[in-house]
């Protein structure tokens, strides 16, 4: 919530004094932050975004190897069309809200696709491995193909050997 400036609300306390115990969270500060979080409950869409981003943040370092050289959309398409598959790296969290499956949350980030890509987006989150047979015509959508290629280039999905 605070990191994403959700609602454009910032914690600000000009009366906050300098102190020797910099790591201490004082009761008044905690209450102020709690109130900011409670205000999120009044905005269901912002709460859903926060939940998706927060729940997909990994608690440990992932073994991410960005693609070198980067894949091109046409290469991603051809690879899958040739019967190959991409696999999600271990430990990567990928979620969606069923009523907005075209919005996916991966590794603490939101990715938005057009609503007609919802089935393909759900596959990314529900399956550890994706194939052309699973994706079908969804792979023909330029927005989905571009996002999949981006995720491959980030090192989140990799070619199955």
Tens digit of each residue's pLDDT (9 = 90 or more) over 106-129: 999 999 999 999 999 999 999 999
Residue 86's DSSP bridge partners are 130, 159
Single pTM value for the model: 0.77
- Given CA atoms 113, 115, 117, 121 in this order, what sign does their dihedral have? positive
Strands 85-88 and 94-97 turn out to be: unpaired
Alpha helices in 104-141 (DSSP H): 118-126, 132-135
Confidence grade of residue 78 (pLDDT, cut at 50, 70, 90) = very high
Higher pLDDT, 32 or 5: 32
Sequence ranges of the domains in the chain: 1-42, 73-159
From the number of C-beta atoms within 10 Å of its C-beta (0-12, 13-18, 19+), residue 135 rates as buried
What is residue 51's three-state secondary structure? helix
User: 73-159: what fold?
Assistant: Malonyl-Coenzyme A Acyl Carrier Protein; domain 2 (3.40.366)
Element (H, E) at 129: strand 129-131
CA 118/CA 112 separation, integer angstroms: 10
pLDDT digits (tens, 9 = 90+) for 10-60: 555 666 666 677 677 778 878 877 877 777 777 777 777 777 787 788 888
Which residue, among 118, 119, 112, 115, has the nearest Cα to 146 in the 3D structure?
112
């Amino acid at each position: 919530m605070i990191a994403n400036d959700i609602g454009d609300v910032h914690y600000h306390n000009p009366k906050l004094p300098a102190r020797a115990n910099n790591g201490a969270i004082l009761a008044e500060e905690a209450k102020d932050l709690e109130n900011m979080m409670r205000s999120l409950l009044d905005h269901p869409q912002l709460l859903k975004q926060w939940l998706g981003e927060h729940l997909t943040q990994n608690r440990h370092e992932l073994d991410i190897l960005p693609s070198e050289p980067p894949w091109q959309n046409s290469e991603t398409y051809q690879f899958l069309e040739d019967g190959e598959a991409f696999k999600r790296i271990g430990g990567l969290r990928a979620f969606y809200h069923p009523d907005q499956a075209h919005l996916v949350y991966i590794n603490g980030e939101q990715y938005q696709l057009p609503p007609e890509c919802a089935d393909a987006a759900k596959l990314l989150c529900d399956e550890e491995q994706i194939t052309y047979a699973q994706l079908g015509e969804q792979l023909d959508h330029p927005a989905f193909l571009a996002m999949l290629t981006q995720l491959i280039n980030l090192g989140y999905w990799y070619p199955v050997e």
